[in-house]
Chain A
């Protein structure tokens, strides 16, 4: 268990470093957005832990899923800290890159039948709002389907769509659009 957590500490460190850049929740690299990256200070204990880990552990490329040990979803270090799945324009198929993330969440839900989550589907601003509302739902349902196929029960996962109404970035170019085409996993 301890080993599994320690493996993720370098990732968490990276996440905190990204968060430190300008103190904003938004970033141009969608894959770098992680759930616990938000506008809050880091306690000295947390900072010590990170420093200690950074000194004592190098980057470990081992596949975290091979261990099958999944921590608390609120643990910033665990695989469950990845809470956003990104999509291509006008598409709702889940990219292969997010396979591991979805497997991790599905496994956690399967092991914790009392836990339920919401999947919030979103779209970028292009095109009509109502069509995008439908597209956001289709994305949320695509993630839901995979979670259920991988062991979560249907009753644990609620899908909701906000269409293009809640962008994380406000620009009007592809760099701004990519982070908005997403499904957020909310515990």
Chain B
């Protein structure tokens, strides 16, 4: 048997330090509540560990858990594997075909120096006995988990021909309530699998609307720590932050432009909420809307030249689209009730998730902007704050669980559902960050 395409493309992994961040005690637990019936069977052979220290992370297990959580794969339990091939030559394709395994992943982690490792793996199509992808990724112990997420993305894309979103982070706000109306708010970021939760801000006053910069290095958010809403931009690594909008009225709803240089936000300087553009490089502000209605919740189109926003200029809240260089706002939501707000655009700009209010409560609806067709995706009553994954396949949102506020995620086709909850306290305001390099 010959390897049909043995390409080892090295990926440069950035060595990041998150030592300045406080590790959280709480784990965001993610459970898959609905998967696809036709989830693809795949065998992930445990990665061979070739190093003189104990493995800090089980790469194969992380990959397997990621693929299972996506709802699109059914990885074979490690205990059921008929054999554990370490190379292409050791694979007995007949065995795997008999077990109905469509795909097989083999790999190893080799030590290449002090705290230096190379992870090699191959994705193999069992039916054709051909390699779909093969990579060697340099990493270190602290980044081994991130490397496992990158590997998951490569496998996902090699088989499904669609980008994964495993090597991503989510930001969210946790709330613990105490007696006498006191609350403890924390702005946290965690890996997309719920691990590595870190608190980047805590406050006794409400926190909301975290928004990622396009490179994932900064978060903008709204904090009430000065007894009024104010917008801050915080560097995730250093913890340093800058107050970019405060003072009279509302200062809220930040959204980074696709180039990361500008922030769209809501202010009510003259007593009426309008959308403003703040140039982060020079601090200059430009007003985008002037209507005496509520204008808020701006989100950028991927072209960087348009925004969508919520306005009640037509009576109830609806979504409008506006060119930032001028023009009239155009309504985007039609025939879908009298309450549509907080839009989130898919990365390609074709789909828009909104909070849709109706007789059955507030649910996440998905609008196809090409043809104005819409679907109600969720079936709970208090859903809010939808946020697209950077691959456009999933939408994370906040909902009300039996034990209080929790997060949920749903695929755009509605077939995969996940639930993300804390063991203690409430969690809300999710924002799905960009792919990590």
Contacts and interface: CB of A to CB of B under 8 A. Distances in A.
B382 A162 contact: no
A20 to B, nearest CB: 18
B208 interface: yes
B250 A128 contact: no
A126 B297 contact: no
A128 B249 contact: no
Contact of B429 (A129, A131, A141, A166): A129
Interface string B297-315: 1000000000000101000
Interface string B374-399: 00000001101100000000000000
Contacts of A125: 382
A41 interface: no
Interface string A108-143: 000000000000000001111111011101100100
Contact of A133 (B229, B339, B361): B229
B341 interface: yes
Contact of A161 (B250, B253, B316, B382): B250
Contacts of B121: none
Interface residues of B, number: 36
Given A127-B339, A160-B227, A137 B355 contact: no
A27 to B, nearest CB: 15
Interface residues of A, number: 21
Interface stretch (B156-164, B266-274, B281-289, B408-416): B266-274
A134 B385 contact: no
B139 interface: no
A88 interface: no
A55 interface: no
A165 B339 contact: no
B206 A131 contact: no
Contacts of A135: 294
Given A128-B384, A129-B209, A165-B208, A134 B355 contact: no
Interface string A144-185: 000000000000000111100110000010000000000000
Given A165-B208, A172-B400, A128 B341 contact: yes
Contact of A162 (B206, B253, B271, B273): B206
Given A137-B250, A165-B206, A130 B296 contact: yes
B297 A128 contact: yes
Interface string A75-93: 0000000000000001000
Nearest to B208: A129
B362 interface: yes
A33 to B, nearest CB: 14
Contact of B297 (A130, A137, A160, A162): A130
B228 interface: yes
B357 interface: yes
Given A134-B266, A134-B273, A127 B362 contact: yes
Interface in B323-368: 339, 341-342, 355, 357, 361-362
Contacts of B429: 129
Contacts of B381: 172
Interface in A17-74: none
Contacts of B268: 134, 137
18 contacts: A90-B316, A90-B339, A126-B357, A128-B297, A128-B310, A128-B342, A128-B385, A129-B208, A130-B253, A130-B266, A131-B294, A131-B312, A134-B294, A137-B250, A137-B273, A141-B271, A159-B249, A166-B206
Which 10 pairs between the two chains have the least Cβ-Cβ distance?
Answer: A128-B342, A165-B206, A134-B294, A128-B341, A134-B273, A130-B253, A131-B341, A130-B297, A128-B355, A130-B296
